Chain A
Amino acid sequence: MATDQALLGLDNLELGPAPRSDPGRLARKGWAAVWPKLLAIAIVLAIWELVALSGWKQYVFKGPGPVFSNLWNDALHGNLWSVIGVTLQSAVTGYALAILIGTVVGVLVARIPPVRAAVGSIITGLQTMPSIAWVPFAIIIFGENASAILFVVVLGAAPSIANGLITGVDYTPPLLLRAGKTMGLRGFALYRYLVLPASLPAYVAGMKQGWAFAWRSLMAGELVVQIIGQFSIGQQLNVDQSNQDFTGATAMIIVILVIGIVVDTLFTKLDQGIRKRRGLLDPATT
């Protein structure tokens, strides 16, 4: 038997049969992911309703019914969408700025040893610092305006993003570096074609964590920094607190939670996509 025939046969044997197409599989997989979540939400709502029915703090505490009808009315007739819009705009601006700064700092720290020695541990220190502690500082410097909020968001998110990138660069497999260098990749090309793509999973993990910190920092900032003429989620919460409006405040908390979960899910999908393409996911679990 000629070598090429044997080799072709061996390749086909090792790759195994092509996966059978199964249109029902996707639907079943989707349902398997959805029902536990629906059940968990149902249980939470049931407990909530039971507490309301028990009469605990009955003058202020309301069940899910009034809260969701408040949310519904606010969505149809109130300012829910403009409130969310204002907050998301700050979130996007602050987060984008954090990615920019975090990435530049990350590359500098990873590339230049003295920079790493100087600020490497400070970045981790900043990461553990509760961002609300920056709010008074930001107000003193910028005054009560959007810049103060952005400052807090950037300080909250940028360290995680920088650290993610640094970790990714540090963990670039040495064997791939050797392969890249034998290929003739040097300097910028080595970064562009090898180090940065190799760092992507850790970088995305850092961005995901950075988002969580950005979202928290943003809420802290909005609760404290009162900007006239810009009605955000945080300010709505403040107003609800002053009015002793339980349903309004709870509705806002639900909005905050949902936005946080939606964005986190997007990052999880992105992360899984990257890992799947690189063969880092166990096929049995996907």
Chain B
Amino acid sequence: MSTTDRRTAPLGYVPGASARSEGSGPSGPDRAAVRLTDVTKVYGSGARAVQALDKVSLAVADGEFVCLIGASGCGKSTLLSLVAGLDSATSGEVFTAGRRVSLMFQEPALFPWLTAGRNVELALRARGVPKADRRERTRELLETVRLTGFGDKRPHELSGGMRQRVAMARALAQDADVLLMDEPFGALDAMTRDLLHDELERICAERTLTVLFVTHNVREAARLGDRVIVLSSRPGRVIDEVSLPRTGPRRIDSVEVAEVAGRLTDRLREEMGRHGH
């Protein structure tokens, strides 16, 4: 199968799950990989308490690519931490159906004392992959993110885009079914970001990954998502949801993406305006 063929395939297509985004509402599709029910998160207590999330309910189907957008203070990162199990909700339920979850950040967060290959290998080791298999698996993962031959480089010797791909290989090494991404391309230049969008789509299709992707960038959300969820700010609440049925590969500079992005921008500005007085 050539690269082009893979890109024309519907993103993350899972037989039987095609109706997943049809008005299923916050209770979501039946085959949810991730489901949040009335999740509230409060940091601190008493007068100093800050509410990050307020009764957020959402569901992500198996193989679905969901983008979360919102202005500052919408609790996007908090939400990902809850799903990743790094933090626990104040009330409500976070359900990941026993799936493996891995998390990527805006910074690659690679360990600077290890080479690119060793960074990937450490994730395999943490998961208990036997030593004999680790080298070969590492090579395959670096090949997947098109970094064959760069395994011996240290993170600081690579460009920002390459580091982020090593981080992706490391996330894939965790053998996760669910990939949580916290503005993963936010610090990259537009050209690199476009290429990594293509790469991410290819990898997700190859591995049938479920993705929850947080971004500030409405075009990025419209380019990548099967569904875009809009969160309000302080506290974060689901205020809107847009389904983007996938007919073929999208381009970030296409009319369709621009049109959806425009609608999302309007919605976000409306929400920001609420805090303007």
Contacts and interface: CB of A to CB of B under 8 A. Distances in A.
B86 A181 contact: yes
A185 B102 CA distance: 13
A198 B199 CA distance: 31
Given A178-B109, A279-B112, A10 B192 contact: yes
B146 A7 contact: yes
Interface stretch (A38-46, A52-60, A99-107, A189-197): A189-197
A277 B162 contact: no
Contact of A183 (B3, B4, B123): B123
A15 interface: yes
B182 to A, nearest CB: 10
B126 to A, nearest CB: 4
Interface residues of B, number: 39
Contact of A182 (B103, B122, B155, B162): B103
Interface in B85-118: 86, 101-103, 105, 107, 109-114
A6 interface: yes
A163 B84 CA distance: 34
B269 interface: no
A22 interface: no
B134 interface: no
A184 B86 contact: no
Contacts of A6: 195
A141 interface: no
A183 B107 CA distance: 16
A274 B154 CA distance: 12
Nearest to B102: A182
Interface string B121-140: 01101110000000000000
A175 B109 contact: yes
Interface residues of A, number: 30
Nearest to B195: A7
Contact of A15 (B86, B122, B159): B159
Interface centre among A3, A6, A175, A279 (most CB of B within 10 A): A3
B97 to A, nearest CB: 18
B111 A176 contact: yes
A7 B157 CA distance: 17
Binding site of A, secondary structure by majority: helix, strand, loop or mixed?
helix
B49 interface: no
A178 B161 contact: no
A2 interface: yes
Given A183-B170, A184-B127, A200-B113, A10 B195 contact: yes
B174 interface: yes
A182 B180 CA distance: 11
B217 to A, nearest CB: 19
Contacts of A279: 112, 154-157
A37 interface: no
A189 B195 contact: no
A215 to B, nearest CB: 29
Interface in A1-17: 2-4, 6-8, 10-11, 14-15
Contacts of B198: 3
Interface in B132-190: 146, 150, 154-159, 161-162, 170, 174
B191 interface: yes
Given A4-B146, A10-B191, A182-B86, A278 B113 contact: yes
A183 B126 contact: yes
A-B residue pairs, 3 tightest by C-beta:
A279-B156, A14-B159, A179-B109
Interface of A: 2-4, 6-8, 10-11, 14-15, 175-176, 178-179, 181-185, 189, 193-194, 197-198, 200, 274, 277-280
